[in-house]
Amino acid sequence: MKTFYITTPIYYPSANLHIGHAYCTTIADAIARYKRLAGYEVFFLTGSDEHGQKIQRTAQAENKTPLEYVDPIVENFKELWKKFYISNDDFIRTSEPRHEKVVQEIFKRIQDNGDIYKGEYTGLYCTPCESYWTELQLDENGCCPDCHRPVEKVSEEAYFFKLSKYADKLLQHIEEHPEFIVPTSRRNEMINFIKSGLEDLCISRTSFDWGIPVPGDERHVIYVWFDAVINYITPLIHNPDMKKFWPADIHLVGKEIVRFHTIIWPAMLMAANLPLPKQIYGHGWLVTDSGKMSKSKGNVVDPVALVEEFGADAIRYFLLREITLGLDGNFNRDALIQRINSDLANDLGNLLHRTLNMIGKFQKKILIASTEGTDLDKSFRLEALDTAAEYRRLMDNVQLSDAVKVVWKFIGRANKYIDETTPWKLAKDETKRQELANVLYNLAESLRIVGILISPFMPATAEKIFEQLKVSSEPKLDDAEVFGLLEANHEVGKPEQLFPRILIED
């Protein structure tokens, strides 16, 4: 069986997650579910990034140990992912012994290869971002170029990773593998970044102790980014059944951390003689009218409240449809409600409801074997198959929002097919029994196909459709590419509302 390995970044448990984090995890989940649907053996990893000075300081301020502080937050992450129907196969916490062991091994391996040395570090450190910056990289106010908060001058004995040594090899790899960094804009940024010169990277600290100790020199803890990226191999490296998943197919990451994933992480892997991931996909940010969502700006949208209000599938649908992967996208409550009412309640909900209602009313819930039918029937069936083929092409290309749109175009087509064939009129004419049976059969089949195609985006809704159609709830993509799998005499269920319309308050 073909394998597929996808990861999200591991999130900092410094604050509760917002809908921007849920966006990233939802994309990864949709891709993972799609690959399972397409017959791959999938490993989907997410987790929490728990070490570092910032966590230690926050915990101290609350009179807690770092673990006492992070434990409940990490539990909340896990709860949130359940609420969003995230189908991760493992959840890695960097504070787990299994991770500590692998980080120390990789450190040792790189050190033994001669690419880690001890020196003196004086640098500018942004604690909230856990990032070192050079003078040149600071913003116009001399602050962190990412979060624009003040940086601290740090001077201490430290271990260094010979990142500079890998500049040429990295450039060569990026140039020979155009698919390694996506989208192209990020790829170009990284090429320029490497060409402007790479400095060796300080990878240990002595000023705090909440981290993984340097093997053999326990006064030092390993730099949190060096520790964090290794999470991607922690579950695989010592497990003979899991090794097949490396190299990862996609590391999905936000655009501001592409640098860590396309420069530092690959150089570390080269230094440890391990293969590089196949692709790093840098997605855009979810923004509101006041910019990128962040706690400091006070513009965060709470995903738990949102799920409770609208349900996870509606939010997943909105995020996957509205935002083109790779670009920033706007999160807006009115637009969400608009989509729920028009695309979900009206287009999809009505299609299912009308179809099942008519099969119930005109044929006592029983499908009747269909014949070839009219030209309209034939072209409708072809359109269903074209939709499934186009969907596969787009999903294979990770064009999620286009794939969603293609499915909804077909849903629109199916609703129009009802209006064009007017089954309620056919039902009044005894001589049109077969014509009616054909239309209803085609509609039920198209809903079966739609259910399969939307299952990576809206798993609970797909299940409801399967339940109401009374078909297997273990869908396969191949079954969406065949028209006519429903048996004649198949009995469908009763229509139940998929999405209630949301009343818009003035």
**Which residues are near ligand MSP by CB under 6 A?**
9-12, 20-21, 23-24, 49, 228-229, 231, 253-254, 256-257, 285-286, 292-293
The distance of closest approach from Cβ of residue 20 to ligand MSP in the complex, given in angstroms and rounded to an integer, is 2
Contact 146, 256 (CB under 8 A): yes
Residue 142: other Cβ atoms inside 10 A: 10
Cβ closer to ligand MSP: 11 or 161?
11
Cβ closer to ligand MSP: 173 or 292?
292
Cβ closer to ligand MSP: 145 or 360?
145
The distance of closest approach from Cβ of residue 94 to ligand MSP in the complex, given in angstroms and rounded to an integer, is 9
Q: Distances from the Cα of 12 to the Cαs of 94, 405, 460, in angstroms? A: 10, 33, 28
Axis-axis angle for helices 303-310, 66-83 (nearest 10): 20
Contact 110, 268 (CB under 8 A): yes
Q: Please state, in angstroms and rounded to a whole number, the distance separating the CA atoms of residues 274 and 13.
A: 29
Axis-axis angle for helices 19-37, 312-322 (nearest 10): 90
Sole residue written with tokens 């509609």: 443
Cβ closer to ligand MSP: 312 or 319?
319
Find, among 70, 128, 109, 107, the residue nearest to 213 by Cα: 107
The distance of closest approach from Cβ of residue 30 to ligand MSP in the complex, given in angstroms and rounded to an integer, is 15
The distance of closest approach from Cβ of residue 269 to ligand MSP in the complex, given in angstroms and rounded to an integer, is 13
The distance of closest approach from Cβ of residue 12 to ligand MSP in the complex, given in angstroms and rounded to an integer, is 4
The distance of closest approach from Cβ of residue 9 to ligand MSP in the complex, given in angstroms and rounded to an integer, is 4
Cβ closer to ligand MSP: 259 or 490?
259
The distance of closest approach from Cβ of residue 311 to ligand MSP in the complex, given in angstroms and rounded to an integer, is 21
Q: Please state, in angstroms and rounded to a whole number, the distance separating the CA atoms of residues 325 and 402.
A: 10
The distance of closest approach from Cβ of residue 21 to ligand MSP in the complex, given in angstroms and rounded to an integer, is 5
Comparing every residue's Cβ against ligand MSP, the nearest one is 254
Cβ closer to ligand MSP: 11 or 466?
11
Among positive and negative, which fits the CA dihedral 254, 258, 259, 261?
positive
Contact 401, 321 (CB under 8 A): yes
Cβ closer to ligand MSP: 12 or 391?
12
Find, among 243, 252, 242, 257, the residue nearest to 278 by Cα: 252
Find, among 344, 356, 490, 502, the residue nearest to 423 by Cα: 356
Cβ closer to ligand MSP: 231 or 355?
231
Q: What is the DSSP string of 225-259?
A: HHHHHGGGTHHHHT-TTTGGGPSPSEEEEEGGGHH
The distance of closest approach from Cβ of residue 295 to ligand MSP in the complex, given in angstroms and rounded to an integer, is 10
The distance of closest approach from Cβ of residue 304 to ligand MSP in the complex, given in angstroms and rounded to an integer, is 16
Token pair for residue 356?
């099942």
Cβ closer to ligand MSP: 20 or 211?
20
Strand partners, 213: 221
Q: Please state, in angstroms and rounded to a whole number, the distance separating the CA atoms of residues 45 and 59.
A: 26
Cβ closer to ligand MSP: 182 or 253?
253
